[in-house]
């Protein structure tokens, strides 16, 4: 395959989005539309990726970091289109970044996020470095799209021109085969065609599609790679179209998971905004959201209305409804056969051992819990190391923050912490100890002892409750 350079057009304002945010930065599956396109382009291992920016250029350029593909890092180059004078004018801005050789230039749109890598590979192969290849498909309602004109009776194979909708005759508008906006062109030829563009059309713009007629005139074959999947070439011009593509994308992800054996209670009520790897016999109830990188081990059960991000959950775990797990950069790990929730929260750095129980309204952050440890109700464990088989009572917390620094709490194996206790860090509770309910501990507790730190109960006779004055 010829060397590939990619040009992504992302200069448009997106007026119909009715938003201050540049159109290509609106999100699908939790990521910017443009990021989807760049990721797809990177899978082709191109020599060069050039993004044409214009409206909101500073925001758009700041949104794309360096990219790594197959272990090789590459940068994204930016070319500004100011003012925006059409698609041909946009690609002209990329010329300083494009080698004048036998390579292929692949032109993509930053608001068309779901084109598949294999489709683009086939399009580049169709070009072969010596032909102009267009990605096309037939639509029942092609309004707004450029029409593919072919020669010969009944629509022969050879493409003769692309006619923009606004410039088309009634007969041309009856054509259902449309140009998707994606093409692969010989690099050296493209440079000469771009230099010959003019703006003599209904919109007074420089149309990239006019190069088709130039290629025909120059004797360069123009081929169409026709597909049938409309989602691959669907662009986003309004919130309605964005929502439609979101559902199409999520349906694709749901089908792929079910084909791997995942049981989804309702495929229409799953949101995958990252990568999800599942073992055998995983079941996921309705309205669950997965973000970042999530791994679910064999037999994991996810209850309804859970949000899980950047977590590794081992085999046999049950995550009850309305649980929120977000590991962010530090990640969260949950050991085998643990029980989490309902209404639990695991934050970055939570490391739970096997058979750990985290119950309703319990929050765990940057803490390690040993096998069999339990915090079943209304508790907070932050910056703690908790041993095996510890029982952490309802309403108890580790007070880990002194207003400046975080401090660690260490709880030995088999400790029982009663209800409504405060462990003021830094503090260590020795193995086998018990903390009496309602205690506030500020000093280390030895192994195997009962520690109580609370005021003596007092009964005051003849005390009267204040009465509200009328």
The yes-or-no verdict on residue 70 having pLDDT over 80 is: no
Predicted confidence (pLDDT) at residue 73 exceeds the cutoff of 60 = no
Confidence band of 76 (pLDDT split at 50, 70, 90): confident
Q: What is the mean pLDDT of residues 197-215?
A: 90
Higher pLDDT, 446 or 153: 446
Identify the pLDDT of residue 280.
97
Tens of pLDDT, residue by residue over 313-367, are 999 999 999 999 999 999 999 999 999 999 999 999 999 999 999 999 999 999 9
Query: Which residues are CB-neighbours of 435 under 8 A, at least 6 positions away?
Result: 415, 416, 417, 418, 421, 423, 429, 441, 445, 450, 451, 452
Task: Annotate 144-173 with DSSP letters as a single string.
Answer: TSPEEEE-TTTT-SSEEEEE-GGG--HHHH
Q: Which of 89, 320, 324, 377 is catalytic?
A: 377
- Mark whether 270 and 327 lie in a shared domain: yes
Q: What is the pLDDT, as a whole number, of residue 296?
A: 98
More confident residue, 156 or 57: 57
Give yes or no for residue 470 having a pLDDT over 80: no
Greatest Cα pair distance in the chain: 108
Same domain, 219 and 153: yes
Range of the domain at 171: 4-233
What's the confidence (pLDDT) of residue 155? 47
What is the DSSP secondary structure assignment for residue 383, as one 8-state letter?
A: S
Model confidence over 155-202: pLDDT tens digits?
457 898 898 888 889 889 999 999 999 999 999 999 999 999 999 888
Structure tokens at 443: 């000093």
Together in a domain, 328 and 198: no
Closest to 221 in 3D by CA, of 182, 189, 191:
189
% pLDDT > 70, the chain: 96
382 in a structural domain: yes
**Active-site annotation holds for 377:** yes
Question: What's the pLDDT score for residue 145?
Answer: 87
Question: Residue 465 falls within a domain, yes or no?
Answer: no
- Contact predicate 80/10, CB 8 Å: no
Whether 242 maps to a domain, the answer reads no
pLDDT value for 66: 59
pLDDT digits (tens, 9 = 90+) for 112-141: 999 999 999 999 999 999 999 999 999 999
327 Cβ contact partners less than 8 Å away, ≥ 6 residues apart: 292, 309, 310, 311, 346, 347, 348, 349, 350
Residue 221 lies in a domain: yes
Query: Residue 94: which CATH number?
Result: 3.90.550.10
- The whole-model pTM stands at 0.88
Number of domains composing the chain: 2
């Amino acid at each position: 395959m010829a060397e590939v350079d990619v040009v992504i057009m992302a200069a448009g304002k997106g007026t119909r989005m009715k938003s201050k945010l540049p159109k290509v930065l609106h999100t699908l599956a939790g990521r910017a539309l443009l990021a989807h396109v760049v990721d797809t382009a990177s899978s082709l291992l191109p020599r060069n990726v050039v993004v044409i920016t214009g409206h909101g250029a500073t925001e758009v350029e700041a949104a794309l970091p360096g990219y790594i593909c197959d272990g090789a890092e590459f940068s994204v180059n930016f070319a500004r289109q100011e003012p925006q004078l059409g698609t041909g004018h946009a690609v002209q801005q990329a010329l300083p970044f494009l080698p004048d050789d036998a390579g292929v230039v692949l032109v993509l749109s930053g608001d068309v996020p779901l084109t598949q890598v294999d489709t683009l590979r086939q399009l580049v192969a169709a070009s072969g470095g010596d032909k102009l290849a267009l990605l096309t498909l037939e639509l029942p309602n092609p309004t707004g799209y450029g029409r593919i004109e072919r020669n010969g009776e009944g629509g022969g194979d050879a493409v003769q021109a692309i006619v923009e909708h606004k410039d088309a005759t009634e007969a041309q508008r009856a054509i259902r085969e449309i140009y998707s906006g994606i093409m692969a062109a010989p690099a050296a030829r493209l440079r000469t065609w771009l230099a010959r563009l003019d703006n003599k059309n209904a919109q007074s713009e420089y149309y990239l599609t006019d190069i088709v007629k130039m290629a025909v005139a120059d004797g360069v074959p123009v081929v169409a790679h026709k597909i049938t999947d409309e989602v691959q070439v669907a662009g986003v011009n309004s919130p309605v179209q964005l929502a439609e593509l979101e559902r199409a994308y999520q349906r694709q992800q749901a089908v792929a998971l079910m084909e791997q054996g995942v049981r989804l209670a309702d495929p229409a009520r799953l949101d995958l905004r990252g990568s999800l790897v599942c073992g055998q016999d995983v079941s996921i109830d309705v309205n669950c959201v997965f973000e970042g990188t999530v791994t679910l081990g064999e037999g994991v059960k996810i209850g309804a209305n859970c949000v899980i991000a950047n977590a590794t959950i081992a085999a046999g775990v049950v995550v009850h409804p309305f649980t929120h797990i977000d590991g962010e950069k530090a990640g969260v790990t949950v050991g085998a056969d643990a029980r989490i929730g309902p209404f639990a929260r695991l934050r970055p750095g939570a490391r739970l051992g096997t058979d750990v129980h985290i119950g309703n309204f319990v929050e765990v952050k940057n803490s390690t819990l040993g096998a069999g440890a339990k915090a079943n109700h209304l508790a907070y464990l932050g910056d703690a190391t908790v041993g095996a088989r510890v029982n952490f009572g309802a309403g108890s917390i580790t007070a880990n923050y002194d207003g400046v620094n975080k401090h660690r709490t260490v709880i030995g194996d088999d400790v029982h912490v009663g209800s409504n206790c405060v462990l003021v860090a830094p503090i260590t509770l020795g193995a086998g100890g018990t903390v009496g309910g309602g205690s506030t501990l500020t000093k280390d507790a030895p192994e195997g002892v009962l520690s109580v730190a609370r005021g003596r109960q007092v009964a005051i006779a003849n005390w009267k409750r204040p009465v509200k004055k009328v």
